[in-house]
Amino acid sequence: MTSTVEPQDLRVGMFIHLDGGWMSHPFPLSSFKISSAEQIDTIRSLGLRKVRWSPERSDLPTEAAAAEATSVADAATAPAAVEPIVMITAAEDPAARARRQAEARAEAEAAALRVCERQYQEACRELRRVNDALAGEPERARDGAQALTRALLDKMLIDAELCVRVLGEPNGDRHSAHAINVTVVSLLLARALKMPEPEMADLGAGSLLHDMGKLSLPDRMRLPHDDFTSAEASLYRDHVGHGISQGRRMSLAPGALLIVAQHHELADGTGFPKGVTSERMSVGARIVSLVNYYDNLCNAATPSKSLTPHEALSRMFAQSRNKFDATILNGFIHMMGIYPPGSLVQLSDDRYAMVTSVNSARPLKPQVRVHDPARSHGQHLNLEDCPDLGIRRSLRPTQLPARAAEVLAPRQRVAYFFDVSATPTVEEQL
């Protein structure tokens, strides 16, 4: 049940719902608990006449909540991400304390993952609206792509370190999932490379729309297959030209249009459609070309041929490094880590784990979800907090024991989003 309140009556502790959609505000989520006066000021600046809120999910005294409720309506909302509260007494034994800390870490990790997945789903929905408008309302589609880019940048260009996080199996169509993957990772890489914000705006719009030319192709032609005939391969490559034509109809900015035109070009001249080398590619196109190549390795048209993130990155560096701008490739490896999110690994204590997120400042010490034979569920660990624990080797899904595979649930498709990496430790929360 929800009530409505005027913006001037908002208070810290209210759990609110912003109905304008993810792109209409700068907050990570559309439903959240107000935690500061600054958030209230931002909400008031949105020009809303009323704001929905949930009294039962708010931290207000019961009588105050009842007095401020105005109108009640049904609302289907996802559970709030709640910060774990750990109560530890001085008399608690070390083993119990360790269990509580582990549970708190797992709860915090699960809450952060829920936030990322909800943001990812909202971004995919907005992109589908953009794609639906391409044919009949090209300028509205352009404006939608620019607005989605702005929303991503508002949440990304903050004074904090961000980490790359792997999500569960992405919902929805592969076209949207691939475009959001490429856009999120490209923008994060551009941020790490200190690209100017105006250029990042073009990068975002261009990467969101880089494959829009595929929408005019038959379904089978939208993903490259090894058994394509020469005619089918030619038709597939035509999607770049279709995308350029569509971009011109949209009056897409030149920087974004160049990304659409060059996202399959490669630094050594072996790409298509023009076979240009790195010197003739824009910086944005070099970024998207690399990230697009990586995501296609991880999410192949035939799932059985997909590489693990670690395999994909290793292949790109060992066998294909000449295909990419060296500075951008090195920046990508630094950001994604030697074992990118989604990689399956065996730790130095022989346990099996999946890398869940990577902070570029600590690429060799990612966060992992570990299969512990003594537990029925995965255990979340930040390897930075475990100086004696490291990664021994990378694995393929088929190398996992059955129980480890059941707990870790390797992804058939890899999806990425971003998260603020400066999560307090359990000790800081006590």
**Alpha helix (H) ranges present in 53-137?**
62-68, 94-133
Residue-wise pLDDT for 366-423, tens only, equals 999 999 887 767 788 889 889 999 999 999 999 999 999 999 989 888 999 998 764 4
pLDDT in the model for residue 284: 98
CA–CA distance, 360 with 367 (Å, rounded to integer)? 12
The DSSP annotation for 190-222 comes to: HHHTT--HHHHHHHHHHHHTTTGGGGGS-GGGG
**178: pLDDT strictly greater than 90:** yes
Helix (H, G, I), strand (E, B) or coil at 381: strand
Among the residue ranges 177-186, 277-286, 295-304, the one predicted with the least confidence is 295-304
User: What would the CATH number be for the domain defined by 128-160+167-328?
Assistant: 1.10.3210.10
pLDDT in the model for residue 173: 83
pLDDT grade for 90, boundaries at 50, 70 and 90: low
pLDDT grade for 65, boundaries at 50, 70 and 90: very low
Among the residue ranges 3-17, 78-92, 201-215, 409-423, the one predicted with the least confidence is 78-92
pLDDT in the model for residue 170: 65
Helix (H, G, I), strand (E, B) or coil at 135: coil
**23: pLDDT strictly greater than 80:** no
User: Strand 344-347 relative to strand 162-166: parallel, antiparallel, unpaired?
Assistant: unpaired
pLDDT in the model for residue 1: 75
pLDDT in the model for residue 429: 32
Residue-wise pLDDT for 43-64, tens only, equals 999 989 999 999 988 998 655 4
How is residue 161 written in tokens? 């370190």
**146: pLDDT strictly greater than 80:** yes
How is residue 378 written in tokens? 């995965």
403, 371 Cβ separation under 8 angstroms = yes
Q: What percent of the chain clears pLDDT 70, i.e. is strictly above it?
A: 88
**127: pLDDT strictly greater than 70:** yes
Q: State the Rg of the chain over Cα.
A: 23
Mean pLDDT of 73-78: 39
Secondary structure element (H or E) that encloses residue 403, with its range = helix 402-408
Residue-wise pLDDT for 253-299, tens only, equals 999 999 999 999 999 999 999 999 999 999 999 999 999 999 999 99
**101: pLDDT strictly greater than 80:** no
CA–CA distance, 266 with 264 (Å, rounded to integer)? 6
Mean pLDDT of 209-235: 91
**109: pLDDT strictly greater than 90:** no
**Mean residue pLDDT across the chain:** 87
**21: pLDDT strictly greater than 80:** no
34, 59 Cβ separation under 8 angstroms = no
pLDDT in the model for residue 205: 98
Residue-wise pLDDT for 325-342, tens only, equals 999 999 999 999 999 999
Going from N- to C-terminal start, the domains of the chain cover 3-79, 128-160+167-328, 344-410
Closest CA to 408 of 418, 420, 396, 419: 396
CA–CA distance, 331 with 376 (Å, rounded to integer)? 38
Residue-wise pLDDT for 340-372, tens only, equals 999 999 999 999 999 999 977 777 889 999 998
Mean pLDDT of 161-170: 83
Helix (H, G, I), strand (E, B) or coil at 35: coil
pLDDT in the model for residue 30: 79
